[in-house]
Chain A
Amino acid sequence: MKKSIVKEQFARLLMYLSILIVLILVTSIIWTIFSRGAKCLTWEMVTSLPGGGFYIGKEGGFLNAIVGSLYIVLASTAIGLIISVPVVFFLNVYLKTKSKLAYVARLAFDVLFGIPSIVYGAFAFTLMIYFGLRTSLLGGILVETLLIIPILIRSMDEVAKNFPRELLEASYSLGATRWETMNVVMRQIAPGIATATLLSVGRSIGDAAGVMFTAGFSDTIPTSLSQQVATLPLSIFFQLSAPQIEVQNRAYAAALVLTIIVLIISLLGRFITNRFSKHNLR
Chain B
Amino acid sequence: MKRFLLRRFLANDSNEPFVPNEKFQHPEVASELVVDHFNLSIDGSPILKDVSVTIPANKITCIIGPSGCGKSTLLKSLNRLSDSIEGVKTSGDIRLGDTSIVNCSESDLVELRRRIGLVPQRPTPLPMSIFGNIAYGCKIHGVGGRRQLRRIVRHYLKVVGLWDEVKDRLHSPAVKLSIGQQQRLCLARSLAVEPEFILADEATSALDPVSSKIVEDLFVKLKEQYSIVMVTHTLRQALRIADYVIFIYMGEVIEVGDAQQVFKNPQHELTQKYLSGAIS
Contacts and interface: CB of A to CB of B under 8 A. Distances in A.
Given A175-B113, A175-B193, A177-B110, A170 B126 contact: yes
15 contacts: A164-B124, A166-B121, A166-B124, A170-B186, A173-B81, A173-B199, A174-B117, A174-B137, A174-B189, A175-B110, A175-B141, A176-B137, A187-B127, A187-B128, A281-B125
Interface in A54-110: 96-98
Interface of B: 79, 81, 84, 86, 106, 110-114, 116-118, 120-122, 124-129, 136-137, 140-141, 173-175, 186, 189-190, 193, 199
B160 to A, nearest CB: 16
Given A175-B140, A279-B173, A279-B175, A188 B110 contact: no
Given A170-B118, A279-B129, A281-B175, A175 B137 contact: yes
A282 B113 contact: no
Given A167-B124, A281-B175, A172 B113 contact: yes
A174 B140 contact: yes
A110 to B, nearest CB: 23
A167 B173 contact: no
Given A169-B118, A175-B111, 6 more contacts: A169-B81, A169-B124, A171-B136, A172-B113, A173-B79, A173-B81
Contact of A166 (B111, B122, B127): B122
Q: State which size class the interface on A falls in.
A: 20 to 34
A2 interface: no
B2 to A, nearest CB: 15
A187 to B, nearest CB: 4
A180 interface: yes
A28 interface: no
Given A279-B173, A281-B124, A173 B129 contact: no
Contacts of A173: 79, 81, 113, 116-118, 190, 199
A100 B121 CA distance: 31
A268 interface: no
Which 9 residue pairs of A and B lie closest in terms of their CB atoms, listed nearest first?
A173-B118, A175-B114, A174-B137, A187-B127, A279-B127, A166-B124, A279-B173, A175-B113, A170-B124
Contacts of A187: 126-128
Contacts of A245: none
A61 to B, nearest CB: 43
Given A175-B111, A175-B114, A184 B127 contact: yes
Contacts of A97: 86
A231 B50 CA distance: 69
A125 B141 CA distance: 49
A279 B84 contact: no
Given A177-B110, A279-B175, A281-B127, A172 B193 contact: no
A96 B193 contact: no
A165 B121 CA distance: 12
A170 B190 CA distance: 9
A169 B76 CA distance: 10
A282 B125 CA distance: 10
